[in-house]
Structure 1
Amino acid sequence: MSKWFNRHLNQLMYISGALISIGIVAGILGYSEITNITFIVATIAAIGPIINKAWMALTMKSFSIELLITIAVIGAMFIQEYTEAAIVTFLFLFGAYLEKRTLNKTRSSIQSLVDMAPATAIVIRDGEEMELDVDEVEAGDHVIVRPGGKVPVDGIILSGQAHINEAAITGESNLRFKAEDAEVFSGSVLDSGYIELTATKVGEDTTFSKIIELVEEAQEKKSSTEKFLNTFAQYYTPAIVVLAIVVYFLTRNLHLAITFLVIACPGALIIGAPVAYVAGIGNGAKNGALIKGGEVIDNFAKVDTVIFDKTGTLTEGSPTVTDITIFDDTDEENFLRQVANVEMVSEHHLGQTIVKEAKSKSIAVDKSTVEDAEAIKGKGVSGIFEGAEYIIGNKKLMEDHNIEFDAETEEKYIDQQKAGNTAIFVARDNRIIGIVSIMDKIRQDVFTAIQTLRDKGVGSLVMLTGDNYHSAKKVSDILGLDGFHAELMPDDKMKYIEDEKERGRKVMMVGDGINDAPALAFADVGIAMGHGGTDIAMETADVVLMGSRMEQLAHGFTISKMTYRVMLQNTAIALLTVALLLGGVLYGYIHLASGMLIHEVSILLVILNAMRLRKIKEHVPKERKLQERYS
């Protein structure tokens, strides 16, 4: 029966509306009997779906709005108020129809993501080219993507090159040039070019599928506000029934009692918060900021302290080797070969930079040639290569192993730090043989993001980094941060966040989602630079910036504050509507039909208020004084 009502809901609404129109015309012409008959039939046509939903709620031991309407309409029919019974049922169905349409629009952001999903893939198997459903593609398959086609899976380019639009992943439509060995993501579109790739992640494991899953889960997660309102409604609705009975026994006025039932319906109160969160989360996802639920939005909106990691967050995360200093007679090529092979064990940006530098000079590196390789968290790496023990990392790592510094080494180390470089020591058999200097550029979009955070009320902006003091100070000074702490271990970052939270601060941590994972999880709001969607970023952070752009952070913060404000506005609208309706009933200004109309208008009003969030776009000013200072 429920399926039948769902399929024919609109038809029943149209029939009810048509019969009411006929009844009104008949009444004007003086045919009162026809008027009563058409209103009764109109009520019967419209009441079916309402009774069905009320019954379903009762079977689950829940009092619903539909139950209040059902009781009120039956009461109206009993006292022969056929006009009001017909109008109330019609308005309820019409309101539900409008709610469904407008709610669908608030969910359009997630629908647009789903629509971007590729349906088929061209795969080469056994030397033959074939078109398969995307769910049939397996990891390791050889996939072809032609101009205008969608990349169906995550993979690595085997051959070819193309300009690719990754808007489905990053939220930005700028074309990216990719060639052999580059990583591509499902849902991306080839604007021009041709590529062949090896599938690495397929089906539900692709980055694009995970994005859709995250957004869908986020829209279902309830904030503490929503949970409170839902709990409130569970007690509020039956209380209204009891109060209506009390009103009847006190006044002996059945019409007043059933009017009380209708106008006290908490429809706008129940729907006001969820529709705001759905619209806000959808907007964030569309612009590359994945916000994981209403609770995150509430916390995000209240942030007053922002803590940044440096490498890969405030800087581009694409550092380059700027200088190599060698203190013995090892030639540079052999020195770089030794260091790069040991650094193969590292997942940190700096270690990978050295490996990349070696490869760019056609120096062979092989992780398997290193014995006892170990990545030492927050300090560096160690391992045995060609019979010699290597320790490569920061000054703390050298001190931990009691490796001494001579005057020349100390002087070179300080000079490189003051120049803004990160100096990495290379020790062989407990003696420092060289220093590799690495520099990373500050992200250009950091300036606008910092200014937006300040404009939106963030009081403290601090950088925590494991990098050296001089390099950290230079970045902090350029960006105009409120403070910085250098040469920190991951545990030190956790301790700093804990201290800030104990002071009553609402702390947001922004990191790369890899070595900052503990701090991201511990902060009130953890923001991960997605780097195209790393698994650890997806799992650990409360918000993932899929384009790894700081402008997405600024947009996410803006949309969260606006969503929270809209949620409060909707709650106020709902409570004010109920208060005005109750006052109107007590003074005789509001009756059954007009009360129902105002109730439905209030629901539409909170939905339309939330829909404003869909139109908020990422705003990036063309010029900033800080950017001019940087340039």
Structure 2
Amino acid sequence: MKNWKTWGVVGVSGLLIIASWILGATAGGTVAGELSADALMIAAAAVAGYPIAVSAWQALRIRMISIDLLVVVAAVGALFINNYWESAAVTFLFALGKALERATMNRTRKALSDLVDSAPETATKLNEDGSTDTVELWELIPGDIVLVRNGEQVPVDGKVISGHGGVDEASITGESVPAEKAEGSEVFAGTWLRSGVLRVEAVGIGADSTLAKIIHRVEDAQDDKARTQTFMEKFAKWYTPGVMLAALLVGVFSQNVELALTLLVIGCPGALVISIPVSIVAGIGRSAKDGVLIKGGEYLETSAKVDAVVVDKTGTLTNGRPELTDVTVLDDAYTEGEVLALAARAETASEHPLADAIIRGAEDRGLKVELVEKAQPVMGKGIRAQVDGREVVVGSAELLDHTPAEEQILQLNDQGKTAMYVGVDGRAIGVVAVADTIRADAPAAIRALQDKGIKVVMATGDARLVALNVGAELGLDEIHAEMMPEDKLELVKELQARGHTVAMVGDGVNDTPALAQADIGVAMGAAGSPAAIETADIALMADRLPRLPYALGLAKRTVRTMRFNIGIALLTVAVLLAGVLLGGVTMSIGMLVHEASVLLVIAIAMLLLRPTLREEMPVAQSMVAEREMLEV
């Protein structure tokens, strides 16, 4: 209804103007014809001008002189000097510009409306007797089991208790490839099951779901004002009365009312005022569609200035869990597979985190890993186990009868790996090593950040040797190891003291002090953390490091767009002012150019809505393939 009224006013006013032209052209210069044509033109001005006058009055009631008041004064003044066409043209073009502006702003908010539209309304509840009922979301409670079939929408946040399938999570994480889900996996409301069938235990329902929190966050972010926008609004608050005073003085001293009214029209700062909010809405909307939540306009501006990023190692640059990296044979009587199989069988009796890495490494290579008959963990040294009647040990040299050569162990340790001897009946037969491996997408992400002129600093609590090896492989600019949370805080302060604008990527727990101190706090993999969605300045919904350079790059593009649009708005006013002083620019031409500039800055801002997410996945995939070849 509101859209119909807006465009209805524009349509009726436009038809009245056309009717006036036709009547003026066909009346043959008769007095009655000219009067009728003028009456239609006045009617056109009244139809288009009434909503503008109402808006101006509402602004005056709260003691604000708005752009609408400039237009109303100019239009009424034109009527008093019998310039009916100028009055109708000014009001019609302004109304048309407002309608187009509203339509394009709605387009820039499409990312938010898409999120709202993706919210599910019903669910298939699975009853205890195995029957199903279609229920409204508000009828569900945490712990209920819902059934999701192929092609259906996941109605709740929850955990998969049975089933297997591929879930399209683009609305939450921005990922284009469906995520494989099985028992124990997390799923989110608003996503779509593209294959399989899932039974899901409800955890977050309706307003408690991740989707609802994202919608709330994007709503707040798009309404949040950047520092530049706040400044421009304060500027416009004084600028508009200044334009009216200048026009009054020009009219008094020049005795040219039409010139004064023309100055009112060309002085409208519409493009100046709209240039920033439309850019912010478009930038934040685009990033939300790609699974990056930015807290608001102020944080968008700050992100554009970031020139130093502090990142943790474990789980950010690395995979966050140890993996088998090396198997070395020390006794020619054994093959590499036999050494690994014996080590894996011995570790089945161990609860140490490194044991799981060795077992998984053996299974990944197709080796059968059976439970040992008998085992005894040795505190701080490793484990002894009985395997097929032989004593197998995995751990330090102290578990062996004969001290083997330490060259292999020292070489692997120097690479930041944890190396262990594998022994049979007191004699070393091989060495196995494990390490927290670098994420496949980390090198591309680091290169992307550095290509943007951003310093990448690693701050980790891990051992210095491990940190140095990871930092060297990734080509980091600074490496800080064995750091406590308070040390990370001091590092951020030091970087800021050096003049850097710092973004901190952390887990939000141990890194809380540093995250709070940093100019921008970044949470990665925030889809599973409602707290991170609410508190982080930038929340990367997917656990993908390349989203960070993308987010910072989008922030820079948005700020460049804002500045470019401000330049266009100021240049337009300057050119029009010169045109008025030199002659040739009328009220109608001034309003036409003014509205064209408004639409131009909106169109430029809308370029931010184009998909630009590139994550260098071919590079990451080639690295994975290369590592697999080396392991074979």
Larger deviation, residues 593-602 vs 159-168: 159-168
SS in 1 for 2:35: helix
Determine the structure 1 residue equivalent to 2:552. Answer: 557
Q: What is the alpha-carbon distance in structure 2 between the residues aligned to residue 270 and residue 479 of structure 1?
A: 44
Does residue 447 of structure 1 match 2:443? yes
Count of aligned residue pairs for this structure pair = 559
Does residue 488 of structure 1 match 2:471? no
**Structure 1 residues 354 and 260, CA, compared in 2 at 3 Å: closer, same or farther?**
farther
* Letter of the structure 2 residue corresponding to residue 269 of structure 1: L
Q: What is the alpha-carbon distance in structure 1 between the residues aligned to residue 122 and residue 598 of structure 2?
A: 41
Q: What is the alpha-carbon distance in structure 2 between the residues aligned to residue 170 and residue 495 of structure 1?
A: 32
Larger deviation, residues 217-226 vs 29-38: 29-38
Determine the structure 1 residue equivalent to 2:499. Answer: 504
In structure 2, the gaps of 5 or more residues are 327-345, 372-378, 382-395, 400-405, 421-431, 628-632
Does residue 248 of structure 1 match 2:251? yes
**Structure 1 residues 220 and 553, CA, compared in 2 at 3 Å: closer, same or farther?**
same
Larger Rg: 2
**Structure 1 residues 544 and 136, CA, compared in 2 at 3 Å: closer, same or farther?**
same
Q: What is the alpha-carbon distance in structure 2 between the residues aligned to residue 317 and residue 55 of structure 1?
A: 61
Q: What is the alpha-carbon distance in structure 2 between the residues aligned to residue 233 and residue 208 of structure 1?
A: 37
Q: What is the alpha-carbon distance in structure 1 between the residues aligned to residue 82 and residue 197 of structure 2?
A: 74
Q: What is the alpha-carbon distance in structure 1 between the residues aligned to residue 313 and residue 510 of structure 2?
A: 12
1:469: Cα distance to partner? Answer: 1.2
* Letter of the structure 1 residue corresponding to residue 312 of structure 2: D
1:318: Cα distance to partner? Answer: 4.3
- 1:28-39 equivalences under 5 Å are 28-29=25-26, 30=29, 31-39=33-41
Determine the structure 2 residue equivalent to 1:399. Answer: none
Are the equivalent residues in 1 in contact too, given 2:348–2:355 (CA < 8 A)?
no
Determine the structure 1 residue equivalent to 2:384. Answer: none
Instruction: Give the alignment partner of residue 314 of structure 2, picking from 306, 311, 315.
Output: 311
* Letter of the structure 1 residue corresponding to residue 213 of structure 2: K
- 1:151-550 equivalences under 5 Å are 151-320=154-323, 335-336=350-351, 417-421=413-417, 439-458=435-454, 460-550=455-545
Q: What is the alpha-carbon distance in structure 1 between the residues aligned to residue 370 and residue 225 of structure 2?
A: 53
SS in 1 for 2:316: helix
Instruction: Give the alignment partner of residue 601 of structure 2, picking from 597, 602, 606.
Output: 606
1:286: Cα distance to partner? Answer: 0.9
Are the equivalent residues in 2 in contact too, given 1:577–1:602 (CA < 8 A)?
yes
Q: What is the alpha-carbon distance in structure 2 between the residues aligned to residue 417 and residue 119 of structure 1?
A: 56
1:554: Cα distance to partner? Answer: 2.1
1:32: Cα distance to partner? Answer: 2.1
* Letter of the structure 1 residue corresponding to residue 441 of structure 2: D
Are the equivalent residues in 1 in contact too, given 2:149–2:197 (CA < 8 A)?
yes
Q: What is the alpha-carbon distance in structure 2 between the residues aligned to residue 489 and residue 192 of structure 1?
A: 45
Q: What is the alpha-carbon distance in structure 2 between the residues aligned to residue 354 and residue 101 of structure 1?
A: 60
Determine the structure 1 residue equivalent to 2:10. Answer: 13
* Letter of the structure 2 residue corresponding to residue 308 of structure 1: V
> How large is the Cα RMSD of the aligned pairs?
3.3
SS in 2 for 1:441: strand
1:520: Cα distance to partner? Answer: 2.1
Does residue 139 of structure 1 match 2:134? no
Q: What is the alpha-carbon distance in structure 2 between the residues aligned to residue 613 and residue 177 of structure 1?
A: 31
Identity percentage of aligned residues: 44
1:521: Cα distance to partner? Answer: 2.2
SS in 2 for 1:121: strand
Determine the structure 1 residue equivalent to 2:423. Answer: none
1:247: Cα distance to partner? Answer: 1.6
Determine the structure 1 residue equivalent to 2:374. Answer: none
* Letter of the structure 2 residue corresponding to residue 25 of structure 1: I
Instruction: Give the alignment partner of residue 67 of structure 2, picking from 65, 73, 78.
Output: 65
1:48-71 superposed Cα distances (whole Å, 9 cap, x missing partner): 111111111112221111111111
Determine the structure 1 residue equivalent to 2:575. Answer: 580
* Letter of the structure 1 residue corresponding to residue 123 of structure 2: A
Determine the structure 2 residue equivalent to 1:383. Answer: none
* Letter of the structure 2 residue corresponding to residue 457 of structure 1: G
TM-score when scaled to structure 1? 0.82
1:568-607 superposed Cα distances (whole Å, 9 cap, x missing partner): 0011111111111111112222111111101100100000
TM-score when scaled to structure 2? 0.82
Q: What is the alpha-carbon distance in structure 1 between the residues aligned to residue 494 and residue 302 of structure 2?
A: 18
* Letter of the structure 1 residue corresponding to residue 547 of structure 2: Q
1:441-464 superposed Cα distances (whole Å, 9 cap, x missing partner): 212222222222222222x22111
1:33: Cα distance to partner? Answer: 2.0
Determine the structure 1 residue equivalent to 2:108. Answer: 106
